[in-house]
Structure 1
Amino acid sequence: MIFSFGPTMLVERGWSSSSAGSTISIVLWLAAFSVPFGGFLADRTKRGDAILVAGCVAFALLMLFLSRSGPVLPFVIALGLVCGLPAGAIMSLPPRVLERKTRPIGMGLFYTVYYAGMLVGPAIGGRISTSAGAASAALDFGAIVLLLCPVILWLFRRIVASQFRSAVSST
């Protein structure tokens, strides 16, 4: 949502297209560092779930602040530093629960859903933004989706735990 609607939101605020695009691109440049750092942090601390939850919540709050604030640059920088933190923890979830024989198909399904979400999410954000008449509505939608991630993680952990209990009780 940041890359699809952030520049448009800034243009709606009176920025030139080139300034808006350049400013929002800072998020991507900083994400190039925050993604590996988040993976390192999750691996080193063995607290991937906590990093995932904190990263998603912080990312969501920063998106909400960005869409409502006057000073853009501090929020753009903060977004770049925070947005990549949960990525490593998220990507490590499927291989941890998939058995060796089902891992290839499981990862295929995981990435299919991931890329479908990357396709459908901005389309939904675009519809919301058009309905609301402001690009910031798409960023708000993105923030809501990010806030759903900890809930989905909780459900994922419950499902995995119940499958583990079933497997243990059947042996």
Structure 2
Amino acid sequence: MRWRMLALLFFARIALGFQFQTAASVGGDLVTEFGIDYSEVGFLIGLFMVPGLFLALPAGVLGRYFPDRFLAFAGLSALALGGLLSGFGPGPVTIGFGRLVAGAGFLLATLYFTKMVADWFEGREISTAMSILVMSWPFGIAMGQVGHAWLAGLQDWRLPFVVASLYCAVAAAAVLLLYRAPDGRKTQAAGSSNRLSAREWQLILLAGTAWGVFNAGYVVYLSFAPQMLEELGHAPLQAAALVSVASWIMIFSGAVCGQIVDRFNHRDLVLIMCMTGAVASLWLIGIAGAGLAASLLFGLVGMAPAGVIMALSGEAVAPARRAFGMGIFFTVYYAIMAAGPPLAGWIFERAGTAGASLVLGMGLFACVIPVALMFRIVRVSGRVTEPREGGK
């Protein structure tokens, strides 16, 4: 049953990446249609993440009053509504408002999909299950990279928003009707304390930073690798297809990476190797003729540890305070994600080449290594001073 529930949640969570990718895929059309620049397109992309800055902690509290499947349904419904608002909007302001509505839905769905998987897989294959869940995001983005470009060419920039919203609506109905919580699931007591120790604050902030810069680097790749390939002479659809190869591959490499870390540990070594591969792939994308090799390296190695990095949040805070800790984790994540795309767009406008924005992406991926190592240092030192608390 748990694997069937994971399959359902994977199918539904694809909607998040599929809807997110709309603005990035039609960014060039928006520039032409409304006379905006690429920094403003980056702003529209980043708006998707802004609600998480304010709603992550309140969203965690809602779980005490409503069933998980209802909150996931509400999140997917908001994603559908936001996409329709953007798709039928008369200008950038309405598109931006739609992105905010969709972003609020993204926050709700992300939190409760993660919780639902944790409920089903607690204590057994959790890293592998979480890696599979996380890979639904790039799966949806990969669908959007090719599908949205094709849909926009078939009609105009509005059609991708509408199609993505229809998928979100179908996913919402599927979760509401088909999801079942595991028998005997334990819930956090309403009176549980949310007060974190100083060490837990350090750990959850480090975990959120690692997850945030990792995902911001991925968004920079998604947004500016196609631009780089077009600068090198590729047609837009060809460039989108080449970049999407990484997103398809990482769906499988992520699950394999989770299995490797579960079986053999050595998480820090795996992260160092994978982030080195991510930096190398962003460098390769700017070399003529190396686009496919760069995309393969990025998918096989660079993005493989997504689930491993996400698992840091589970180690950071004791179980009794984990819900509150996850709210902090996602607040940090959303803060970084809201800032990353506009900064990359600003760099592109100033430099006049997508290669400059990709350098930012390299820096973001490189930052994962010291942050993860600091997480390990803080956690290991805590074992000495606090031998009874958390961790393996």
TM over 0.5: yes
- Displacement of 1:24 in angstroms is 0.8
2:339 corresponds to 1:129: no
In 2, the alpha carbon distance for the partners of 1:7 and 1:156 equals 34
2:12 corresponds to 1:12: no
Partner residue, 1:96: 315
Match of 1:28 among 247, 262, 278: 247
Partner residue, 1:61: 280
Percent sequence identity over aligned pairs? 31
In 1, the alpha carbon distance for the partners of 2:355 and 2:277 equals 17
Q: How many residues align?
A: 168
Per mean C-alpha deviation after superposition, the further-off stretch among 150-159 and 16-25 is 150-159
2:327 corresponds to 1:118: no
- Displacement of 1:115 in angstroms is 3.0
Counterpart residue identity of residue 50, structure 1:
L
Counterpart residue identity of residue 353, structure 2:
A
SS, match of residue 85 in structure 1 = coil
Counterpart residue identity of residue 367, structure 2:
L
Counterpart residue identity of residue 255, structure 2:
P
Counterpart residue identity of residue 5, structure 1:
F
SS, match of residue 305 in structure 2 = helix
2:338 corresponds to 1:138: no
Counterpart residue identity of residue 21, structure 1:
A
Runs of 5+ unmatched residues, structure 2: 1-219, 388-392
In 1, the alpha carbon distance for the partners of 2:288 and 2:362 equals 15
Higher RCO, 1 vs 2 (CA within 8 Å, ≥6 residues apart):
1
In 2, the alpha carbon distance for the partners of 1:58 and 1:2 equals 13
Query: Does structure 2 conserve the Cα–Cα contact (< 8 Å) formed by 1:34 and 1:83?
Result: no
Per mean C-alpha deviation after superposition, the further-off stretch among 159-168 and 1-10 is 159-168
SS, match of residue 49 in structure 1 = helix
Query: Does structure 2 conserve the Cα–Cα contact (< 8 Å) formed by 1:42 and 1:88?
Result: no
TM-score by length of 1: 0.89
Across the aligned residues of Structure 1 and Structure 2, the Cα RMSD in angstroms comes to 1.7
- Displacement of 1:69 in angstroms is 4.4
Larger Rg: 2
Query: Does structure 2 conserve the Cα–Cα contact (< 8 Å) formed by 1:38 and 1:84?
Result: no
TM-score by length of 2: 0.41
In 2, the alpha carbon distance for the partners of 1:167 and 1:77 equals 43
In 2, the alpha carbon distance for the partners of 1:38 and 1:124 equals 30
In 2, the alpha carbon distance for the partners of 1:120 and 1:18 equals 28
2:292 corresponds to 1:73: yes
- Displacement of 1:36 in angstroms is 1.3
In 2, the alpha carbon distance for the partners of 1:128 and 1:86 equals 27
Counterpart residue identity of residue 252, structure 2:
F
Match of 1:147 among 366, 369, 376: 366
Give CA deviations for 1:125-157 in whole Å, capped at 9, x if unaligned: 111122211111111111111111111112222
- Displacement of 1:70 in angstroms is 3.2
In 2, the alpha carbon distance for the partners of 1:50 and 1:127 equals 34
In 1, the alpha carbon distance for the partners of 2:309 and 2:245 equals 23
- Displacement of 1:111 in angstroms is 2.0
- Deviating above 6 A after TM superposition, structure 1's stretches of 4 or more consecutive aligned residues are none
